[in-house]
Structure 1
Amino acid sequence: MLRRAFALILLLGLATVLARADTPASAPVEIDIPVLVAGYGSAFYEETAREFQKLRPDVRVRIGGNPRINDQVRIRVMAGDDPDATDAVLLYPNLIKAGRILDLAPYLDGPNWEGDARWRDTFLPDVLDRWTAPKVATSVSESGSPNATPVYGLPFAHAVWTVFYDKKRFRENGWETPRRWDEFFALCEKVEKAGVAPLSLPGVFMRYGDAFLRSAHYNLVGPDGWRAYNRLEAGARTDPRFIRAAAAVQQLSTRHLVKGWEGMTHTAAQLAFIDGRAAMTISASWFASEMKGKLPAGFELGAMNLPVFADGITSPDTLQTQSAYYFLFASGDPAREKATVDFFRFLTSRERAKRFAQTVDSPVALRAVTPADFSPLMRDTAELVAKAPASFDAAPPASATNLAVINQALTDARYRLMTGRITPEEFGARLEAAAGAARARETDPDRVENRHGFATCALLLVLAALVAWLAWKKALKGGRRPPGAVGSEQSSEHLGRLRPKFAIGFVGPALLLFGAFVILPGLASFVWGFTRWDGLGERTWAGLFNFKWLLLESDVFWFALRNNLFLMIAPACVVVPAALFFATLIHRGIWGASVFRVVFLFPNMLGGIAATLLWMSAYDPHGGLVNTA
């Protein structure tokens, strides 16, 4: 017995040793980096991951992305499944406050990938400032100086807003590139006299026009005024300098844009410029990458900085930039965090930066790239970057307040400003009111502005009356049971009742699905309506605040309610009576009955008409889906 036990123990020990011998000393560290592919694609990043893995065989980089990466990563983060790094659009201030974003300052003060400079010194001026902030997270798992000012975002792709123009056309017509607003408007008038629209701008993405507003405003107020504007300080949007910038934008949009700009996408606006219907277009440095293969041979693409005022206080060479920032998550695993940092050190190396410029033909936020690294199409933009003494970030603050309140107010007011429906002063007043409401909410989160008090009272009275009427009808029906009702019920049961098992078999599956996908989510949403939650932190009790805000303050709710009431009432009060009226006329055979028969066929014709319009739009040579694929 002892011999058998000893032999068994020996065999187990030998098997353990052999298993350990077959197992690698350490499994490779895997890091997950979803990237936003819009504008630049994912091929360069996938190539970078492969090159990094050759240098670091102990690391596996899972990198990839698609145009819907924002939604996918947002769901993951809400569920607590954080990637190691991403550039998806998230509420990063909230994530930073929760301590889920890695502070990069200790690493930036260390060596770059080549080891011959401080990592932070390899970036262009001012590009790290956007996500440099006082430390708000205390549980950060990095080594280095704990007293350094935290840096939470790492820039790479560096978009620069410019006005693109055709050098050949400018040269043939003797047009000079302007620097001041008065020169720019004078050029627009010369271009119009030549029978060409001065500028193309996408009305579908009207925020492209904000590039002119930001540039003009920053030129007048400087860095301090720009910070005050982004901090929603009182009076920043009714400041005469902001009104002056808005007036310049309105003059441009109402007088000098290509015909039909309101319905253009950004691709259609760019193609209008390439096709020669507009002399200039507004875009960022992703223009050349997006239009690759669509620019005619020999097209001489030029880029000029946005115009400034003669009395502006900033340098005319200051650039308006919009870098793509990557955020590294504090996973709590030192090996993964270190591997992720090393990957981004490699991504921002000299060789990788130059490779990005050469393959994607777009600037990067690094000093290593020179104008010679770009194609002739982007040479002007590269020279603007090289000589720029400073830059300012065009992206708005990523706070929840800005996304929820200010952006919506700007979207509504921008349309009216650029179409001439309101004055620049009214534009500033509307934005100032939105900023004031945002400031008030920051100081008093439970504050609700009473904008729709009368409508709320009317709606609640209608609902109360409807409930009372239904209750009265039910009570009346139960109190006065018609004679013979019992007999009717008995006669209707000649087939007998289904046994419970059969009833469950018929109704059960549908009831389970309905309950799982409709009833339970509805109940959960109703309960969540009494709480506050940003999707990242803990839920807190809010009472009736959300309902009061929805009824008394939200414009979107009442707009949606009006639309739904229209869809409910219009068919019942207009469509159905009209159809019955036409049917009566046809039935009686009155004069013109054939016309009414044609009217009856309209709904059957609409589907074919809609399909025809869709195919015409898809094959449109100026921005159609097929021809721009």
Structure 2
Amino acid sequence: MNPESLPRPYPRRTLLRTAGLAAVTAPLLSACVTSAGKEEKPAQAGGAKTAENPLGVKADAPLEVVVFKGGYGDDYAIKAEQQYTAKYPQAKIDHKGLQKVGEAMQPRFVAGDPPDVVDNTGAGRLDIATLVGAKQVTDLAELLAAPAFDQPGKTVRDTLLPGVIEDGTFDGSTVTLNFTYTVWGVWYSKSLFAERGWTYPKTWAEMLALCETIKKAGIAPWTYQGKYAEYINDPLLTMAAKAGGLDLVKAVDNLDPAAWSQPGLKQAAEAFAELAGKGYIMSGSEALSHTEAQAAWCQKKAAFIPCGSWLESEQKEVTPAGFDMVMGTVPSASSGDRLPVTAVQASSSESYLVPAQAKNRAGGLEYLRILFAKESATAFAQANSTLPAVAGATDGLTLTSGLGSVRDAVTAAGPDAFNYRFRTWYAPLAKAVDDATAELVNRRISAADWSARIQKASDSLAKDSTVKKYKR
């Protein structure tokens, strides 16, 4: 989801991480499922497949594109439409830029008359899990295997950053492609660190030693967005993944019976308990909203703050000149970590899909091939100071300190970018983790209690036959 779209007082990442949750989406009516069950397919507009037309677009078939018009606007989508028109000048394009995609699109999906492309983003988006269950979305395998629009020798699949395909995959089929890429890390002021002679730590032992130095300098080492404990969950869970590797991440997402007692998770919980126990978290952080905590950090009342890569954009109106914020990767727990210190937690958002009953499915797929071209993604990055999901889109650009650090982190991570999916799959488990971590970093429970509480919530979900389960 486009973080800019989130209404205050919600923090941007809260809805960014809930793209699959019916609780924040417009539920599809049962009639939609009934319609899908009949498998009534409209006559498809298609043409001959050639090297120049790999998806078989009918040159004069109309194309309808619906785009969520949030903080990123829709100019970037319109530019891709203009490229489509340049290639297929006989095709008439109907563009709609909307705020409430779900409200407008739900009746059209129910009626079996959806548009050809939908940017299913925003707080009122359609529930993707319901769409998938009702077979209302097109499997994008053909698009992913098609030649990239402007990168000879590559397929569309080859051009995407790590995790993008997995983020849009449900029950083995990739049904959405997300256009933007979010990375989570620990942020600090590069100028402050240079002024004080501090070096960003690579290990947790180095982090604790630096925190003691920072504390003696009269600055709080850490603050966090206390009203939304999920913010501080990110570095904790990232540290755990580095310690235990991808097997740990899969065990958590798969609701394994011993997932939360794995050594990597215990080690990470103990690390953050120690951070709090030594007084390295700014007093009063628990009561702060995301904007309040981030403002205090920009005022140099604290040296570190956990956040996603939207932080620079979100703080641009209040960041002092010369602050030079940058994102650091979460330090390693120990030398025995299974993932390198350069590994990052990342996921994609701004979710595009092609409805299964679209009249011009081939055109919808071709439009996405154009939208996800490198030229299109580069223009988007320049206009929005946001990392697109297309690899290399920011190469050669002069970037701000924050976006530059995010780009560098993704480059350094390479294939070691990962993402937990339990937050989008299981809302009750996400809340249980948030609540337990809030108690942990405010010294009200131990690391062992933290692990036991979350495992109990995970086991309860695993046994609940009414909850659809996903596997990695």
Q: Which residue number corresponds to residue 203 of structure 1?
A: 226
Contact kept? 2:76, 2:376, Cα under 8 Å: no
Matched, 1:249 2:249: no
Deviation at 1:43, TM superposition (A): 4.6
2:69, 2:422 → 1: CA distance?
18
Contact kept? 1:85, 1:329, Cα under 8 Å: yes
Deviation at 1:266, TM superposition (A): 1.9
Deviation readout 1:444-488 (Å, 9 max, x if unpaired) = x49xxxxxxxxxxxxxxxxxxxxxxxxxxxxxxxxxxxxxxxxxx
1:383, 1:133 → 2: CA distance?
30
The counterpart of 1:129, out of the listed 166, 186, 202, is 166
1:63, 1:189 → 2: CA distance?
54
Deviation at 1:287, TM superposition (A): 1.6
Deviation readout 1:536-572 (Å, 9 max, x if unpaired) = xxxxxxxxxxxxxxxxxxxxxxxxxxxxxxxxxxxxx
Question: What is the one-letter code of the residue matched to 1:275?
Answer: Q
> Where do residues 296-311 of structure 1 align in structure 2 (5 Å cutoff)?
296-310=320-334, 311=336
Contact kept? 2:188, 2:325, Cα under 8 Å: yes
Matched, 1:107 2:107: no
Matched, 1:314 2:339: yes
Q: Which residue number corresponds to residue 93 of structure 2?
A: 60
The counterpart of 1:87, out of the listed 101, 106, 120, is 120
Report SS of the residue matched to 1:321. Answer: strand
2:111, 2:464 → 1: CA distance?
27
Q: Which residue number corresponds to residue 507 of structure 1?
A: none
Deviation at 1:114, TM superposition (A): 2.3
1:78, 1:281 → 2: CA distance?
44
| Unmatched runs of 5 consecutive residues or more in structure 2 | 1-57
Contact kept? 1:243, 1:428, Cα under 8 Å: yes
Distance change >3 Å, CA 71–CA 238, structure 1 → 2: farther
Q: CA RMSD in A?
A: 2.9
1:289, 1:55 → 2: CA distance?
34
1:81, 1:189 → 2: CA distance?
62
Deviation at 1:315, TM superposition (A): 1.4
2:265, 2:374 → 1: CA distance?
40
Q: Which residue number corresponds to residue 418 of structure 2?
A: 392
> Where do residues 172-321 of structure 1 align in structure 2 (5 Å cutoff)?
172-253=195-276, 255-310=279-334, 311-321=336-346
Question: What is the one-letter code of the residue matched to 2:128?
Answer: Y
Q: Which residue number corresponds to residue 520 of structure 1?
A: none
Distance change >3 Å, CA 283–CA 71, structure 1 → 2: farther
Question: What is the one-letter code of the residue matched to 1:187?
Answer: L
Q: Which residue number corresponds to residue 405 of structure 2?
A: 380
> Where do residues 95-174 of structure 1 align in structure 2 (5 Å cutoff)?
95-114=131-150, 116=152, 117-132=154-169, 135=172, 150-174=173-197
Report SS of the residue matched to 2:464. Answer: helix
1:216, 1:422 → 2: CA distance?
20
Distance change >3 Å, CA 293–CA 90, structure 1 → 2: same
Q: Which residue number corresponds to residue 68 of structure 2?
A: 35
RCO (CA 8 Å, sep 6+): is it higher in 1 or 2?
2
Deviation at 1:410, TM superposition (A): 2.4
Deviates more, 1:40-49 or 1:409-418: 40-49
Contact kept? 2:187, 2:305, Cα under 8 Å: yes
1:185, 1:76 → 2: CA distance?
55
2:92, 2:229 → 1: CA distance?
43
Question: What is the one-letter code of the residue matched to 1:304?
Answer: G
| Unmatched runs of 5 consecutive residues or more in structure 1 | 1-24, 136-149, 447-533, 535-629
2:174, 2:380 → 1: CA distance?
24
Report SS of the residue matched to 1:398. Answer: helix
Deviation at 1:292, TM superposition (A): 2.7
The counterpart of 1:359, out of the listed 370, 374, 383, is 383
Distance change >3 Å, CA 394–CA 122, structure 1 → 2: same
Contact kept? 1:200, 1:281, Cα under 8 Å: yes
Question: What is the one-letter code of the residue matched to 1:162?
Answer: G
Computing the radius of gyration from Cα coordinates, the structure with the larger value is: 1
> Where do residues 220-619 of structure 1 align in structure 2 (5 Å cutoff)?
220-253=243-276, 255-310=279-334, 311-324=336-349, 326-335=351-360, 337-377=361-401, 378-389=403-414, 390-396=416-422, 398-399=424-425, 402-403=426-427, 405-442=428-465, 445=466
